[in-house]
């Protein structure tokens, strides 16, 4: 991290905490024609490995499984920072950038447990409730791992950093906090009557 390097953190605990709270990873790669793509995906984490999955038919999955360099970023937005000057407006955030190369997990049992990790990352407790993938479903899915060897976190907290000359301006300054709102679980339209709401759905929090 070069700009505002004091906001950088290379500690695994910080990086892991941001990855564990995030839900969407933006996965960037350059395809064979030189065209960069940044694609949103869900993900999971297993120790120092980031886990991704998708259809075997997906161009992105095939390209990454072939060993293309990849950059993955996860961002949590914590607030809007309103300064007295337009220049010093900012956002409070926690973000991670991972650089590396993805590898396809070809071993069926490792791939299955990586998929469980991804599901558990999204909805803790869900793998104990839902049907496990069949061999056919596993064969339709590419599971990739990206080592968290080259990764950085960047974090901004606190209020606006206005110029001393602007502190006397008659302009409100401060932070509008942002967080993810969780709604009440909505049953599927074709749910059989009498099935109670899943504990994992009731327990979901951020
Ligand atoms: C929150 C979220 C989570 C997702 N999680 C996963 C996941 O875990 N695994 C997975 O395989 N897919 C996931 N998707 C879908 C994913 O973003 C891609 O659409 C998909 O993987 C691309 O498949 P492809 O390689 O067949 O398409 P491509 O051949 O890569 O895409 C064809 C073209 O479609 C456009 N395109 C592709 N994806 C998107 C998009 N999401 N939004 C707008 N335009 C797009 C691009 O211009 C691209 O050139 C997720 C999407 C979202 C929004």
Determine whether the shortest distance from the Cβ of 41 to ligand 1 is under 6 A: yes
What's the whole-model pTM score? 0.92
* Residue from 40, 45, 57, 102 whose mutation best tests the ligand 1 pocket (most atoms within 8 A of CB): 40
Determine whether the shortest distance from the Cβ of 89 to ligand 1 is under 6 A: no
% of the chain with per-residue pLDDT over 90: 85
Read off the pLDDT of residues 162-173 as tens digits, 9 standing for 90 and up: 999 999 999 999
Q: What number is the average pLDDT over the span 80-85?
A: 98
**Structure confidence at residue 206 (pLDDT):** 84
Determine whether the shortest distance from the Cβ of 53 to ligand 1 is under 6 A: yes
Read off the pLDDT of residues 141-156 as tens digits, 9 standing for 90 and up: 999 999 999 999 999 9
User: Pick from 29, 26, 49, 45: which is nearest to 37 by CA?
Assistant: 29
Determine whether the shortest distance from the Cβ of 40 to ligand 1 is under 6 A: yes
Determine whether the shortest distance from the Cβ of 122 to ligand 1 is under 6 A: no
Query: Which residue's CA lies nearest to atom 28 of ligand 1?
Result: 59
Report how far ligand 1's centroid is from the alpha carbon of 55 (Å): 10
**Structure confidence at residue 78 (pLDDT):** 98
**Structure confidence at residue 88 (pLDDT):** 98
- Tell whether the model's pLDDT for residue 7 goes beyond 90: no
- Tell whether the model's pLDDT for residue 2 goes beyond 90: no
Tell me what the pLDDT averaged over the chain comes to.
95
Determine whether the shortest distance from the Cβ of 36 to ligand 1 is under 6 A: no
- Tell whether the model's pLDDT for residue 5 goes beyond 80: no
Read off the pLDDT of residues 9-30 as tens digits, 9 standing for 90 and up: 778 999 999 999 999 999 999 9
Query: Which residue's CA lies nearest to atom 38 of ligand 1?
Result: 39
Query: Which residue's CA lies nearest to atom 53 of ligand 1?
Result: 40
Determine whether the shortest distance from the Cβ of 141 to ligand 1 is under 6 A: no
Half-sphere exposure of 196 (CA within 13 A, CB side): 5
- Tell whether the model's pLDDT for residue 120 goes beyond 90: yes
Q: What number is the average pLDDT over the span 111-129?
A: 98
Band (131; pLDDT cuts 50, 70, 90)? very high
Determine whether the shortest distance from the Cβ of 194 to ligand 1 is under 6 A: no
Are 151 and 53 contacting, i.e. CB atoms less than 8 angstroms apart? no
More confidently predicted of 4 and 19: 19
**Structure confidence at residue 142 (pLDDT):** 94
% of the chain with per-residue pLDDT over 70: 100
């Amino acid at each position: 991290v070069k700009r505002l390097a004091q906001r950088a953190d290379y500690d695994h605990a910080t990086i892991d905490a941001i990855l564990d709270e995030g839900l969407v990873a933006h996965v960037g790669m350059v395809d064979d024609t030189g065209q960069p793509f940044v694609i949103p995906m869900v993900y999971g984490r297993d120790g120092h490995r980031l886990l991704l999955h998708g259809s075997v038919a997906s161009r992105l999955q095939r390209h990454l499984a072939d060993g293309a360099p990849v950059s993955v970023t996860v961002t949590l937005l914590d607030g809007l920072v309103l300064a007295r000057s337009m220049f010093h407006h900012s956002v409070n955030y926690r973000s991670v950038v991972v650089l590396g190369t993805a590898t396809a997990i070809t071993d069926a049992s490792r791939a299955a447990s990586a998929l469980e990790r991804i599901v558990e990352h999204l909805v803790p407790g869900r793998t104990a409730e839902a049907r496990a993938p069949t061999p056919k479903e596993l064969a339709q899915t590419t599971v990739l791992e990206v080592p968290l060897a080259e990764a950085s976190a960047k974090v901004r907290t606190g209020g606006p950093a206005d110029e001393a000359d602007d502190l006397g301006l008659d302009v409100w300054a401060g932070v509008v906090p942002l967080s993810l709102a969780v709604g009440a679980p909505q049953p599927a339209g074709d749910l059989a009557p009498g099935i109670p709401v899943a504990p994992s759905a009731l327990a979901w929090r951020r």
